[in-house]
């Protein structure tokens, strides 16, 4: 056992100045019958529960994070001087709210993907530092759509193993490949399961958004995805949805979109929905507001974009769709851009999900200064 502990400490020497690895390893050696998978789920649930329900959750879109970073690092700010002061006050108030434990700005997978689209340099590091300062070190579960699918299946009385029954996660959960690099690549070492459990403990406790982005390369596929989604959405709008004339048709295509998304996710997970396919299609779209909020929001805004003859498809629309669906479904405030604020309010989604949506910096400052 002593040799195993020495091997473990050598492998993870960069963490050893903060945590007593010997004690971690010894503790897991005493629980040989608890599998890594069961332990991981237990730890992820426990970690999520530590993020207090009463904490006000504020979603900042990526441009807002950029503005805050430019405000703090004065050499990069390019906006008007008065706007800079507004953003500075917004940042100071957000720091105050986090310090007081009243509010936090957890990030999401779309935000993380946009951060990873930046080259690994001081700007990306600066934004990651801002995220660490304002997020309480938490993010929304990147598999939240799967969690909602499980909620739907559970409501049907269909047996399903809940693998994602937690909402808030630590930074390491946003980079599964990075986690796998440590966990899955452990070779044939003595007491491998104990190694993996102790390593998970360390990564959950020590990984920050800043340290995580240091280990991740630029996402080379991000721009290609933006271009591809724009082409796909434009084709759908011009060749499939353009002939829809009656306003009431929106409700019909919304239902079809929500149900189609549920079936798509089920197929991705290898699930057979044939047993209650008819029950699924008897549901009205509004049924999914509480059961699958993000799925419903994504579908609602997507359909709005498709039937809106006045607007054009932009490269960022797909990612703005993701930001909006996560923010309205699980956050109390959503500070975003003008165009998507209008789309959300046109369909009354802010009122449906009781989320304050705002894009004007002065109004945002007014809101958070009163918290």
Q: What is the pLDDT of residue 352?
A: 93
Q: What is the pLDDT of residue 299?
A: 86
In a domain, 238, yes or no: yes
Which residues in 126-142 are b (16+ Cβ under 10 Å) and which e?
bbbbbbbbbbbbbbbbb
In a domain, 34, yes or no: no
In a domain, 126, yes or no: no
Chunked in runs of 10, what are the mean pLDDT values of the chain (371 residues)? 50 50 74 79 82 89 90 67 84 94 92 86 89 92 84 67 71 71 59 78 80 74 74 77 63 78 76 68 79 87 80 80 91 91 89 94 94 90
Span 223-233, pLDDT tens digits: 677 778 778 87
pTM of the model: 0.84
Q: Indicate the number of domains in the chain.
A: 1
> Residue 367's closest CA among 340, 332, 338, 320?
332
Domain holding 266, by residue range, is: 222-359
Q: What is the pLDDT of residue 18?
A: 46
Q: What is the pLDDT of residue 265?
A: 77
In a domain, 250, yes or no: yes
Q: What is the pLDDT of residue 190?
A: 59
Q: What is the pLDDT of residue 1?
A: 46
In a domain, 78, yes or no: no
Q: What is the pLDDT of residue 16?
A: 45
Q: What is the pLDDT of residue 333?
A: 96
In a domain, 95, yes or no: no
* 139 beta partners: 107, 169
In a domain, 193, yes or no: no
Q: What is the pLDDT of residue 17?
A: 41
In a domain, 128, yes or no: no
Which residues are CB-neighbours of 102 under 8 A, at least 6 positions away?
55, 56, 371
């Amino acid at each position: 056992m002593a040799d195993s502990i020495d091997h473990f400490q050598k492998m993870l020497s960069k963490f050893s100045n903060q945590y007593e690895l010997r004690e971690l390893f010894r503790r897991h050696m005493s629980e040989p019958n608890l599998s890594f998978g069961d332990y991981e789920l237990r730890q992820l649930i426990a970690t999520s529960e530590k993020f207090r329900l009463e904490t006000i959750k504020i979603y900042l879109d990526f441009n807002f994070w950029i503005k805050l970073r430019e405000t703090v690092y004065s050499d990069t700010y390019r906006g008007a001087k008065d706007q800079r002061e507004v953003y500075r006050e917004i940042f100071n108030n957000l720091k105050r709210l986090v310090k007081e434990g009243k509010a936090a700005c957890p990030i999401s997978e779309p935000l993380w993907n946009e951060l990873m689209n930046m080259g690994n340099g001081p700007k990306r590091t600066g934004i990651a530092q801002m995220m660490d300062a304002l997020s309480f070190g938490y993010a929304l579960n990147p598999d939240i759509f799967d969690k909602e699918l499980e909620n739907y299946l559970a409501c049907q009385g269909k047996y399903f193993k809940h693998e994602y029954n937690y909402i808030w996660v630590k930074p390491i959960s946003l980079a599964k490949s990075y986690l796998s690099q440590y966990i899955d690549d452990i070779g044939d070492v003595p007491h491998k399961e104990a190694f993996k459990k102790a390593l998970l403990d360390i990564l959950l406790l020590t990984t920050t958004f800043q340290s995580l982005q240091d280990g991740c390369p630029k996402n080379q596929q991000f721009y290609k995805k933006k271009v591809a989604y724009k082409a796909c959405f434009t084709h759908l709008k011009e060749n499939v949805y353009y002939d829809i004339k009656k306003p009431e048709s929106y409700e019909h295509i919304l239902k079809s979109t929500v149900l189609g998304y549920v079936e798509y996710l089920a197929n991705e997970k290898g699930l057979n929905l044939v047993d209650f396919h008819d029950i699924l299609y008897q549901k009205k779209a509004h049924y999914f507001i509480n059961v699958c909020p993000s799925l419903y929001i994504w579908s609602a805004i997507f359909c709005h974009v498709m039937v809106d003859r006045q607007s054009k498809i932009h490269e960022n629309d797909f990612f703005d769709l993701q930001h909006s669906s996560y923010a309205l479904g699980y956050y109390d405030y959503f500070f975003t851009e003008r165009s998507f604020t209008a789309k959300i309010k046109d369909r009354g989604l802010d009122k449906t999900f009781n989320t304050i949506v705002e894009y004007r910096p002065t109004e945002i400052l007014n809101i958070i200064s009163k918290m």
